[in-house]
């Protein structure tokens, strides 16, 4: 029985993978905002540079990260949490750009989550070879809001697991412009990113940038 399931996944083209309730893959959804998103990423990074955070266990995270919004997600020896100041600059994080919040609200709406008002965006930068291990987004206080995740630059394979860490993840290829939304019954799914394959993207060069838009503080 288990064997049949595995074979079906292998022969099924990615577009036809059945996504669990609460997960939507919106192909090319961010492309209308592409120029504004890239300019706004540059503005955020100029004020709050990418850095490699340290996990509570003392490991250097392989994706470089920064944030914008009223709070930003950080990790250090004392744990994972949201903070209103960037520990690197001592300043508040740059404001959430309008392009980010509009994209997030529209993508959430398209996935059936109306009224999404993100207050935080984690920006991850992946060089070739960089991966993100399976995890849940669980540091937000408002778990009713969905997560909107926008992929830019080099392609990636998104690992979409289940509500238990042990579930075998489905591999979803993501291209520049694709957006994934998960919420409701899928809000606590495990997810990750397979190692990025080396390549050159016309707009972003040798990197993948992912925007994860979230509601961290209660509305
Ligand atoms: C994340 O879960 O923080 C990032 C996911 C991604 O890069 O697609
Ligand atoms: Fe995540």
CB 174 within 8 A of CB 82: no
Instruction: Decide: 203 and 149 in contact? Cβ < 8 Å.
Output: no
| Dihedral in degrees, nearest 10, Cα atoms 81, 181, 63, 197 | 170
Angle between helix axes 98-110 and 34-47 (nearest 10 degrees) is 130
Q: Number of helices (H) and strands (E) in the chain: give both, helices first.
A: 3, 12
Residue-wise DSSP of 112-142: T-TT----EEEEEEE-TT--EEEE-----S-
Q: State pTM to two decimals.
A: 0.92
User: Is any ligand 1 atom within 6 A of the Cβ of residue 124?
Assistant: yes
pLDDT, residue 99, reads: 98
How confident is the model at residue 16, as a pLDDT? 61
Q: Write the pLDDT tens digit of every residue in 18-63.
A: 899 999 999 999 999 999 999 999 999 999 999 999 999 999 999 9
User: So what's the architecture of 9-214 in CATH?
Assistant: Sandwich (2.60)
Q: Cα separation of 26 and 16, whole Å?
A: 13
Atom of ligand 1 nearest to the CA of 151: 8
Ligand 1 centroid, distance to 1 Cα (angstroms):
32
Chain segment 166-209, per-residue pLDDT in tens: 999 999 999 999 999 999 999 999 999 999 999 999 999 999 99
Virtual CA dihedral for 180, 142, 215, 181, nearest 10 degrees? 10
- The preferred substitution site among 169, 191, 208 for testing ligand 1, maximizing ligand atoms within 8 Å of CB, is 191
């Amino acid at each position: 029985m288990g064997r049949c399931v595995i074979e079906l996944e292998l022969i099924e083209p990615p577009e036809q993978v059945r996504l669990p309730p609460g997960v939507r893959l919106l192909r090319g959804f961010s492309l209308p905002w592409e120029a504004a998103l890239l300019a706004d990423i540059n503005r955020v990074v100029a004020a709050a540079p990418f850095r490699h955070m340290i996990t509570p266990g003392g490991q250097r995270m392989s994706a470089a990260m920064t944030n914008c919004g009223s709070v930003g997600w950080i990790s250090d020896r004392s744990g994972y949490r949201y903070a209103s100041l960037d520990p690197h600059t001592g300043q508040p994080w740059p404001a959430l750009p309008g392009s980010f919040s509009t994209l997030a609200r529209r993508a959430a709406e398209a996935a059936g989550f109306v009224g999404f008002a993100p207050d935080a965006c984690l920006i991850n930068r992946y060089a070739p070879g960089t991966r993100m291990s399976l995890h849940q987004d669980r540091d937000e206080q408002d778990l009713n809001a969905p997560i909107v995740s926008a992929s830019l630059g080099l392609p990636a394979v998104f690992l979409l697991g289940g509500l238990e860490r042990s579930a075998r993840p489905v591999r979803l290829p993501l291209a520049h412009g694709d957006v994934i939304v998960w919420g409701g019954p899928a809000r606590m799914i495990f997810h990750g990113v397979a190692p990025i394959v080396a390549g050159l993207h016309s707009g972003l060069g040798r990197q993948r940038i992912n925007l994860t838009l979230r509601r961290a503080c209660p509305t």
